[in-house]
């Protein structure tokens, strides 16, 4: 894999990844997650109650919900806030549902207790991979929030964490016929195949979103993309662990 991409990266190379914890002081846990020029603030707040539907249906345990938004100055052309349009756009709805599903798959809702974890992901700068950066950053923020809950005595200070497994997300795709890892905007807009993969640190899949962009892809290409994503998730998991230590 010696072919270089437009920014000089190898096909299997991530962009520079950083995590800046504590970016939102009033949140239970927060981080500024950066992937190349993409920057996302991931913050976790806690409500000591559960949604009404859980009470009505007598569902035990807690709940996790997520919101995602791109700030007006996150893109080259100003993006109007959803509130000015009176509705959430379809893309934002899809992404925040993905974030919520991903986190709920990795958390023991019973162990969480009768409380709601609210995840807010706000994109400061977008250069491809905002949803995957949001999910990867959310894991770091969630670990910090659980630590805070334990320190306050709201969760047991010993024993297993409600977080069953570390998780992260990465994009892969086929650009100019070549499978590549962690697409930026230039690559994403011209990709023949685009895929977002959410995985645990142990290599278990949480969600895979794959589509051909006016194109098709073969089982062999699909396998190559999955292999790239698995490699990328391992690297992201190591970086998350380092940030939390």
Q: What is the pTM of this model?
A: 0.94
Question: Which helix (DSSP H) or strand (DSSP E) does residue 236 occupy?
Answer: helix 219-244
Confidence tier at 113 by pLDDT (50, 70, 90): very high
Q: How many other CB atoms sit within 10 Å of the CB of residue 80?
A: 9
Beta strands in the chain, from DSSP E residues, in sequence order: 17-21, 29-35, 38-47, 63-70, 116-125, 167-175, 178-181, 193-200, 205-212
Note the pLDDT of residue 9. 95
Question: pLDDT digit string (tens) for 146-167?
Answer: 999 999 999 998 888 999 999 9
The sheet with strand 17-21 has its strands ordered as 17-21, 29-35, 38-47, 116-125, 63-70
Check: CB of residue 77 under 8 Å from CB of residue 154: no
Mean pLDDT of all residues in 25-41: 97
Note the pLDDT of residue 107. 97
Is pLDDT above 70 for 231? yes
> Any bridge partners for residue 244, and if so which?
none
Q: Where are the domains of the chain?
A: 17-244
Mean pLDDT of all residues in 66-89: 84
Mean pLDDT of all residues in 18-36: 97
Mean pLDDT of all residues in 130-149: 97
Note the pLDDT of residue 133. 98
Mean pLDDT of all residues in 61-71: 95
Q: How many other CB atoms sit within 10 Å of the CB of residue 23?
A: 17
Is pLDDT above 50 for 18? yes
Q: How far apart are CA 34 and CA 47, in angstroms?
A: 27
Is pLDDT above 90 for 100? yes
Note the pLDDT of residue 80. 80
Q: Which CATH number fits domain 17-244: 3.30.70.560, 3.30.230.70, 3.40.50.1110, 1.10.3720.10?
A: 3.30.230.70
Confidence tier at 1 by pLDDT (50, 70, 90): very low
The mean predicted confidence, pLDDT, of the chain is 94
Q: How many other CB atoms sit within 10 Å of the CB of residue 81?
A: 11
Note the pLDDT of residue 167. 98
Is pLDDT above 80 for 15? yes
Note the pLDDT of residue 83. 73
Mean pLDDT of all residues in 133-154: 97
Note the pLDDT of residue 76. 86
Note the pLDDT of residue 88. 76
């Amino acid at each position: 894999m010696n072919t270089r991409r437009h920014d000089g990266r190898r096909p299997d190379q991530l962009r520079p990844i950083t995590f800046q914890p504590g970016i939102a002081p009033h949140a239970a846990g927060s981080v500024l997650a950066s992937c190349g020029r993409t920057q996302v603030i991931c913050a976790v707040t806690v409500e000591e109650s559960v949604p009404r539907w859980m009470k009505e249906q007598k569902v035990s345990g807690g709940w996790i919900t997520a919101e995602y938004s791109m700030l007006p100055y996150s893109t080259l052309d100003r993006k109007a806030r959803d509130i000015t349009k009176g509705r959430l756009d379809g893309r934002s709805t899809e992404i925040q549902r993905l974030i919520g599903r991903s986190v709920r798959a990795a958390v023991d809702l019973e162990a969480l207790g009768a409380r709601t974890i609210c995840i807010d992901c706000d994109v400061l700068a977008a250069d491809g991979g905002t949803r995957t950066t949001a999910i990867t950053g959310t894991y770091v923020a969630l670990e910090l929030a659980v630590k805070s809950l334990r320190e306050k005595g709201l969760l047991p200070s010993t024993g297993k964490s409600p977080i069953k497994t570390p998780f992260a997300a990465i994009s892969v795709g086929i650009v100019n016929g070549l499978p590549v890892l962690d697409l930026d905007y230039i690559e994403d807009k011209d990709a023949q195949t685009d895929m977002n993969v959410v995985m645990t640190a142990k290599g278990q899949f949480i969600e895979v979103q794959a589509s051909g962009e006016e194109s098709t892809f073969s089982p062999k290409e699909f396998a190559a993309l999955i292999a790239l994503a698995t490699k990328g998730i391992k690297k992201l998991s190591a970086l998350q662990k380092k940030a939390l230590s």
